[in-house]
Copies of this chain bind each other. A is one copy, B any other.
Amino acid sequence: MQSYTEENYLKTIYHLAEKTINVQTNAIAEQMQTKPASVTDMIKKLADKGLVDYIKYQGVTLTETGKNTAIDIVRKHRLWEVFLVDKLNFKWDEVHDVAEELEHIKSIELIERLDEFLGFPKADPHGDPIPDKNGRFAKTQFIKLIELTIGDQGTITGVTQHSSAFLKHLEKLGLTLGKKIQISDVTDFDGSVEILLSDKQVNISREVAKHILISSNGKN
């Protein structure tokens, strides 16, 4: 059984490992809003418990057990987010902090029944895939909006930034999950992107475009 803190470390390492193979101490510290010295302490503990492989100065990787534990927490986090949005009418920018707490409730029965109650959803309100009870989920192979060129079409299927400010901004522009879009222009000067929606046209900065995921329907 892991502590609330250990679970948060495992989840953080899991997410960082999606980008880099070996996860660095400093990266964990930054993500967890703590100090590198604290991270080293915790890494040793997790290594002792067999949840991570650790070589001094070389960063960490999750063991099979550690990875499974992390995925289970991600599953809980995302299922709770679906609950908050679908059942309690939270907005997609309001759910993260509460889910951060709910993900630590320790009851297998609870999460199985919640999953069923929600109709076994495949994705959370931000488009992130929800692992099934065996930890399996399809690796979503979405394209970043920034990578599209003029004429490309697609559907908004995810975001890679969960801050309330960013999500509220998208909401205001009408760029929510499931919306069909087409790139109508890309400005050379600042890289901003002009997007055609069904009913209107919006302009987003390059920075925003980086964090929107699209399931592409290919050219034209």
Segment from A40-48, A68-76, A83-91, A160-168 that makes contact with B: A83-91
Least CB distance, A35 to chain B, in whole angstroms: 22
Question: 1/0 per residue A90-110: CB within 8 Å of B?
Answer: 100010011001100111011
Q: In the complex the two chains form, is B105's CB within 8 Å of A117's CB?
A: no
Minimal Cβ-Cβ distance residue in B for A113 = B88
Chain A residue total in the interface (Cβ 8 A): 18
- Copies of this protein in the assembly total 2
Of chain B, the residue at the smallest CB distance from A112 is: B88
- CA A87 – CA B118 in complex, angstroms? 10
Q: Mark interface residues in A152-182 (1 if CB within 8 Å of B CB, else 0).
A: 0000000000000000000000000000000
Rounded to whole Å, the gap between the CB of A31 and the closest CB of chain B is 22
A193 to chain B, nearest CB (A): 34
Residues of A within 8 A of B (CB): 84, 87-90, 94, 97-98, 101-102, 105-107, 109-110, 113-114, 117
